[in-house]
Amino acid sequence: MKSTKPHVALLASPGMGHLIPVLELGKRLVVQHEFHVTIFVVATDTTTVESHLRNLPNPKLLNVVSLPPVNISGLVDPDASIVTKIIVMMRETLPALRSAIISTTRQLRPTALVVDLFGSEAMAIADEFEMLKYVFIASNAWFLSATAYFPTIDKRLEEEHINHKKPLMIPGCKPVRFEDTLEAFLDPKDQVYVEYLRLGVEIPTADGILINTWEDLEPTTLAAMRDTTSLGRVTKVPVYPIGPLVRPVMQVRPVPVQEDSVLGWLEKQPSESVMYVSFGSGGTLSSNQMIELAWGLELSQQRFVWVVRPPMDDDASGAFFKVDSNGYDGTPNYLPDGFLTRNSDKGLVIPMWAPQAEILSHPSIGGFLTHCGWNSTMESVMNGVPMIAWPLYAEQKMNATMLTEELGLAVRSKEFSTTTIVEREEIERMVRKIMVDKEGDGIRSRVKELKYSADKALSIVGSSYNSLSKVAKDCETSLQGQLSKARGA
């Protein structure tokens, strides 16, 4: 196959929070630049992939390759953190990725490999095949700053941050409070600490870092990363804010759906009257917290759609690899007695998984109680929906702090820890603050302003559009170099 357009290979880590933005990035490279794109996914639900790739103007340019599942049971402790499990899965996938890249090379050799953070070891394969290599951060620049700066502060981390709970000071960026810190930073003896440190060392070996953010969302952090006068700058690699990467949802009103579906139900509710409650693709609450949340929603007397999962008392990411509803009869018997009957006119409970992008874009949604996963956050912003921040794991506490203290897009509980219970009265207050009180109006208008700023960044000649165009240009230049070399040979 001869082509003057580059072929870019993308590698997504397991988990919808990684897969969804990588698919969107692949679509942008096809739609905006007419690149050939191959997305490598690690054993995932292909129906989800297909639903994301519908209506692509040029489907021939985008190919999704499922890499075979890997068995990591003998390699990690069953209680290891979700990040450790993902990283080990990615490591075990490398031989299959290498073979898959070799077979793609026979048709059109990829010019660049884009790996998401947890797949950074795959950059060695890019070196082997003389490809450009990029790291994609499916989160924000502040999170990147903490990760990329980790090797520099590693030696002081235990004494200052862990023992004395001092904030992490990152040059030019907002400090990270101990209460908000990444779980990976908490125990130097844990495998996740060691793996994370390695990520921090590998990121700067990339040709560039793509981030799911945009210039006007994080101007200070991005400026600090580019400040060539700062000796302690967190990374010297070019950073490309290309976000927000959110799946666009086309909805024709009224929605042509079944009456008994969630969208059918939303059609019958007044505008901005429903609180959507969801903890991402893996989040779970303890049994006591589930009960308090149910009562809090009921006491608020507001309409709601709640994606429920069986409670887990000691694992906030307990559903990460288990979100399918197989074997689950859909009766949530862990909710307070009579909850479903008492709230049948006001609320809808959806077991395990819901069409979140469609729900959030429905005009009846007026608020989002979210675990602050970065995709959920971006989806909320892009639909102008104010939030209640309820962080659980990973970088979600940093995200919650950014949303509440810096951007004013959310309210949150005074409880910081995931081990204390947020009580029903406080939940009731937060829901009413967003849905009923004046404070909610201010937050709502700030979210809508930010949506405008994101739309502008994504528009032609907007900052994110331009950022991705720079990466595209580098790929084109590299391809030209490859072609002239081949002609000369």
Report how many residues bind ligand UDP under the rule CB under 6 A.
18
> Which residue in 374, 422, 434, 463 binds ligand UDP (CB under 6 A)?
374
**Shortest CA distance to 321 belongs to which of 73, 96, 92, 120?**
73
Per-residue buried b or exposed e for 266-278, using 16+ beta carbons within 10 Å of the residue's own CB: bbebeebbbbbbb
The nearer residue to ligand UDP, 143 or 339, going by C-beta atoms, is: 143
The nearer residue to ligand UDP, 123 or 246, going by C-beta atoms, is: 246
Residue 281 makes contact with ligand UDP by CB under 6 A: yes
H-helix segments, 321-462: 339-342, 356-360, 374-382, 396-401, 424-435, 438-458
What span, in angstroms and rounded, lies between the C-alpha atoms of 134 and 137? 10
Question: In the bound complex, what is the minimum distance in angstroms from residue 370's beta carbon to ligand UDP?
Answer: 7
> Which residue in 84, 145, 269, 375 binds ligand UDP (CB under 6 A)?
375
One-letter amino acid at 90 equals M
Q: Number of H helices and number of E strands within the chain? A: 16, 13
What 3-state class would DSSP assign to 440? helix
Question: In the bound complex, what is the minimum distance in angstroms from residue 312's beta carbon to ligand UDP?
Answer: 14
Residue 334 makes contact with ligand UDP by CB under 6 A: no
Residue 213 makes contact with ligand UDP by CB under 6 A: no
The 10 Å Cβ neighbour count of residue 57 is 9
7 catalytic per annotation: no
Question: In the bound complex, what is the minimum distance in angstroms from residue 74's beta carbon to ligand UDP?
Answer: 26
Question: In the bound complex, what is the minimum distance in angstroms from residue 103's beta carbon to ligand UDP?
Answer: 30
Residue 244 makes contact with ligand UDP by CB under 6 A: no
**Which x/- pattern, by CB under 6 A, does the window 465-484 give for ligand UDP?**
--------------------
Catalytic pick from 7, 33, 36, 116? 116
What span, in angstroms and rounded, lies between the C-alpha atoms of 203 and 129? 19
What are the structure tokens assigned to 420, written together?
A: 């204390």
Applying CB under 6 A, the span of 155-163, 278-286, 403-411, 442-450 interacting with ligand UDP comes to 278-286
Residue 379 makes contact with ligand UDP by CB under 6 A: yes
Applying CB under 6 A, the span of 11-19, 268-276, 423-431, 447-455 interacting with ligand UDP comes to 11-19
Catalytic pick from 7, 18, 33, 52? 18
Residue 280 makes contact with ligand UDP by CB under 6 A: yes
Taking only Cα atoms into account, the Rg of the chain, rounded to an integer number of angstroms, comes to: 22
Residue 189 zone, left/alpha/beta (φ > 0; ψ -120 to 50; rest): alpha
Residue 304 makes contact with ligand UDP by CB under 6 A: no
Query: What is the torsional sign of CA 189, 195, 196, 197?
Result: positive
> Which residue in 61, 307, 385, 435 binds ligand UDP (CB under 6 A)?
307
Residue 15 makes contact with ligand UDP by CB under 6 A: yes
**Shortest CA distance to 418 belongs to which of 402, 386, 394, 452?**
394
What span, in angstroms and rounded, lies between the C-alpha atoms of 276 and 259? 19
Separation in Å, CA 274 to CA 266, 293, 300, 380, 424:
8, 16, 12, 13, 18
> Which residue in 111, 191, 269, 356 binds ligand UDP (CB under 6 A)?
356
**Shortest CA distance to 193 belongs to which of 201, 184, 180, 202?**
184
Applying CB under 6 A, the span of 74-82, 124-132, 340-348, 367-375 interacting with ligand UDP comes to 367-375
Residue 357 makes contact with ligand UDP by CB under 6 A: yes
Residue 291 makes contact with ligand UDP by CB under 6 A: no
216 catalytic per annotation: no
What residues act catalytically? Answer: 18, 116
Which chain residues interact with ligand UDP by CB under 6 A? 15-17, 20, 278, 280-282, 307, 353-354, 356-357, 373-376, 379
